[in-house]
Amino acid sequence: MELPKHADLSTEEKNAKVRISNEDSSPYEQFYHWPFETILKYTKTFPTPPPKNWTSQLGHENWDPRYDGYCDWAIPFQPEDPFGGMMRIMQTQMIYGAFSKEDLVYPEIQIKKLFAAPFERALTERSKSKEHLRLQSKIFVLKYSLTPFITSYDEEWEDRLTDKKVRAWRLISCYGETNLDTLHDRILGPAMGWCRHFHTYKYIVPTNGACFGPGTSEAIDKMHAMTSYTLDSSKYQLAHLLREPGQRLVYIYDLGDTWTHNLELVQVANRGDLLEMPCDDQVQNALIKEYNGELPKIKGVQLFAGELNCAPENSDGCGGMGNYGHLLKKGKKHISPEATRSPNWKDHKIKNAFKFDLDAHRKRLAEAIAGKSSAKTGQKMCNMMLQPDSHRFLNQQTRPGERVHEKCVGSLKTGCVPMSETIKIRPDKENEAVCAACGRQPNVQAGFKPLLRCGSCKAAWYCGKSCQHSDWKNHKDKCVKMRKERKEYKKEVASCDDQKVLATRCSR
């Protein structure tokens, strides 16, 4: 989807302006004072992609060379002042948001909402189309790659853009009806090797800059998104944004380190079709090595091939590959003690960036699909102890069906650093559930028939008997645990209901 056209706007939208508080004396860019139709015209004056050393009359840009696409909502920005926005937030935090006397949100959010309104309307219309209904049942094969490649952001610019010899990439598949929140939690993270339920994320449509993200998040890196505006990723599916081979979607994981990924659609298939050989030489070589030229059938959520372990979590990815680029340059035999202590490398005993274990990544992906979705709040967080047990007051308040799980992370030098996380024991709801065998996630809200529960644990979900039978070997050991967790959850709900009844009686 492209930037909205003038004809796509209502009269009200054409004349809409950003409201800036009378108490706000910040020097906003000139276009913040224009009607939206004028802002949109100005945005379209930027060449895409811009030629080298190109600058507009006002010194603005709206293109990100890391993924060859529009930046956040295609809104122009001044690259020479990267911290200006953060300083403005600090100066105006008592004027906007919860403290606003005029019921105003930050001007940066207001302008993004102006861009989002016609895009949301277009997505609503797309949802009703026959083409969208058809694509929901299809399986999308995606090349999922971390970008940039081997070099860091601030060094060797040209090499970084052209080097194709070393990249962290995966060839994966999933259903077009998978919503973007599930795609992040249960597919992209496990397939690449990121921790689940740790950092937050957002998607960007490179052809217009539209952004999608979690409706709720308590991840520590959420602080970097105080003036961001995203459409709720749980309400939109992959098929809303990708429709034919060659189209791309950008996925940014960890808004502090900004690990940027490209998701390129390479095949739209039916279940049972053969995987087609992509024209990418790197992927071709990996598939030939893995399958000896006999490509597999597409069954649902799968990881077909990949190369290179993903970067260590919290390894300074700001502006690109960060320290990971420097680590890769040290060669295929190098072992970094710092990298091996990072959460995602430590949990899976990874010691070297180049020794990629495809089967181990497949196992993580299968476990994520067969398990439960992550809790919407209480992401992994390290709590530094000032005195014994002093970190416990930071633990999240849990709801029925949730537990706070703690473990120690750190090194011999730092000692035990407690990391807490909210774990879900309640079964997934209908709109969260995916088939534990194939990973299908029907759009229940649009009227699609929901998945069926396992008759024993009533916590695992399946498309039908064939998927359940194919998964029984994997599920039978989990079934007992899931049944026990569900009983605990039901007891907690009953106890809460009893307390509510008692509180109502006492208030009379």
Residue-wise pLDDT tens digits, 301-318: 999 999 999 988 887 554
Does residue 306 sit in helix, strand or coil?
strand
CB count in 10 Å sphere of residue 486: 18
Of the candidates 342, 370, 398, which is a domain's last residue? 370
- Residue 58 pLDDT greater than 90, yes or no: no
Does residue 81 sit in helix, strand or coil?
coil
- Give CA torsion, residues 388, 389, 391, 395, to 10 deg: 170
Q: Which domain holds residue 205?
A: 137-151+163-370
Q: Are residues 302 and 334 in the same domain?
A: yes
Tell me how far apart the alpha carbons of residues 366 and 382 are, in angstroms, rounded to a whole number: 27
Tokens for 487, please give them: 């009983």
Q: Is residue 132 part of a domain?
A: no
Tell me how far apart the alpha carbons of residues 422 and 437 are, in angstroms, rounded to a whole number: 25
Q: Angle formed by the axes of helices 36-43 and 107-127, to 10°?
A: 80
Predicted local confidence at residue 503, as pLDDT? 52
Task: Using CB atoms within 10 Å of the CB of residue 399, give its burial: 0 to 12 exposed, 13 to 18 middle, 19+ buried.
Answer: middle
Q: Is residue 117 part of a domain?
A: yes
Predicted local confidence at residue 436, as pLDDT? 96
Predicted local confidence at residue 406, as pLDDT? 84
- Residue 13 pLDDT greater than 50, yes or no: yes
Contact 172, 144 (CB under 8 A): yes
Q: How many CA atoms lie within 13 A of 269 on its CB side?
A: 23
pTM, 2 dp: 0.91
Tell me how far apart the alpha carbons of residues 474 and 486 are, in angstroms, rounded to a whole number: 19
Tell me how far apart the alpha carbons of residues 272 and 39 are, in angstroms, rounded to a whole number: 48
Contact 58, 73 (CB under 8 A): no
CATH code of the domain containing 258: 3.10.290.30
Of the candidates 316, 349, 370, which is a domain's last residue? 370
Tokens for 366, please give them: 């299968």
Tell me how far apart the alpha carbons of residues 266 and 143 are, in angstroms, rounded to a whole number: 7
- Residue 83 pLDDT greater than 70, yes or no: no
Q: Is residue 191 part of a domain?
A: yes
Using alpha carbons, select from 76, 260, 265 the residue that is nearest to residue 160.
Answer: 260
Q: How far is CA 56 from CA 44, 49, 78, 304, 458, in A?
A: 12, 13, 10, 44, 59
For the chain, what is the domain count? Answer: 3
Q: Is residue 218 part of a domain?
A: yes
Checking 163-169 for CB contacts under 8 A at 24+ apart, the result is 164/282, 166/307, 166/308, 166/328, 167/282, 167/307, 167/308, 168/192, 168/306, 168/307, 168/308, 168/309, 168/310, 168/311, 169/143, 169/144, 169/145, 169/282, 169/283, 169/306, 169/307, 169/308
Predicted local confidence at residue 507, as pLDDT? 44
Q: Are residues 190 and 261 in the same domain?
A: yes
Predicted local confidence at residue 330, as pLDDT? 81
CB count in 10 Å sphere of residue 183: 25
Q: Are residues 386 and 362 in the same domain?
A: no
- Residue 344 pLDDT greater than 60, yes or no: yes
Q: Are residues 334 and 203 in the same domain?
A: yes
Q: Are residues 461 and 409 in the same domain?
A: yes
Of the candidates 336, 370, 404, which is a domain's last residue? 370
Q: Is residue 41 part of a domain?
A: yes
Q: Are residues 402 and 484 in the same domain?
A: yes
Q: How does residue 159 score in pLDDT terms, banded at 50, 70 and 90?
A: low
* 169 Cβ contact partners less than 8 Å away, ≥ 6 residues apart: 143, 144, 145, 146, 282, 283, 306, 307, 308
Q: Is residue 156 part of a domain?
A: no
Q: Are residues 28 and 91 in the same domain?
A: yes
Predicted local confidence at residue 172, as pLDDT? 98
Q: How does residue 87 score in pLDDT terms, banded at 50, 70 and 90?
A: confident
Predicted local confidence at residue 161, as pLDDT? 52
- Residue 504 pLDDT greater than 80, yes or no: no
User: In which residue are the tokens 């009359």 written?
Assistant: 57
Q: How does residue 164 score in pLDDT terms, banded at 50, 70 and 90?
A: low
Tell me how far apart the alpha carbons of residues 235 and 339 are, in angstroms, rounded to a whole number: 36
Q: What is the mean pLDDT of residues 37-43?
A: 95
Range in 40-54, 98-112, 381-395, 460-474 the model is least confident about = 381-395
Tokens for 228, please give them: 């961001």
Using alpha carbons, select from 353, 376, 379, 350 the residue that is nearest to residue 364.
Answer: 350
Q: How does residue 266 score in pLDDT terms, banded at 50, 70 and 90?
A: very high
Buried b (16+ CB within 10 A) or exposed e, 220-256: bbbebbbbbbbbebbbbbbbbbbbeeeebbbbbbbbb
CB count in 10 Å sphere of residue 364: 18
Q: Is residue 1 part of a domain?
A: no
Tell me how far apart the alpha carbons of residues 472 and 463 are, in angstroms, rounded to a whole number: 13
What is the per-residue pLDDT across 407-455, written as a single tens digit (0 to 9) for each? 776 554 555 667 889 999 999 999 999 999 999 999 888 788 999 999 9
Tell me how far apart the alpha carbons of residues 292 and 129 are, in angstroms, rounded to a whole number: 40
Range in 186-195, 324-333, 342-351 the model is least confident about = 324-333
Q: What is the mean pLDDT of residues 329-339?
A: 83
Buried b (16+ CB within 10 A) or exposed e, 329-358: eeeeeeebeebebbbbbbeeebebbeebee
Q: How does residue 392 score in pLDDT terms, banded at 50, 70 and 90?
A: very low
Q: How does residue 148 score in pLDDT terms, banded at 50, 70 and 90?
A: low
- Residue 346 pLDDT greater than 80, yes or no: yes
Q: How many CA atoms lie within 13 A of 323 on its CB side?
A: 10
Tell me how far apart the alpha carbons of residues 123 and 126 are, in angstroms, rounded to a whole number: 5
Element (H, E) at 461: strand 461-462
Q: Are residues 413 and 268 in the same domain?
A: no
Q: Are residues 141 and 72 in the same domain?
A: no
Q: Are residues 346 and 426 in the same domain?
A: no
Q: Are residues 142 and 108 in the same domain?
A: no
Q: Are residues 32 and 110 in the same domain?
A: yes
Q: Is residue 391 part of a domain?
A: yes
What is the per-residue pLDDT across 274-333, written as a single tens digit (0 to 9) for each? 999 988 888 999 999 999 979 999 999 999 999 999 988 887 554 444 567 777 778 888
- Strand runs (DSSP E) across 342-414, as ranges? 381-382, 402-409
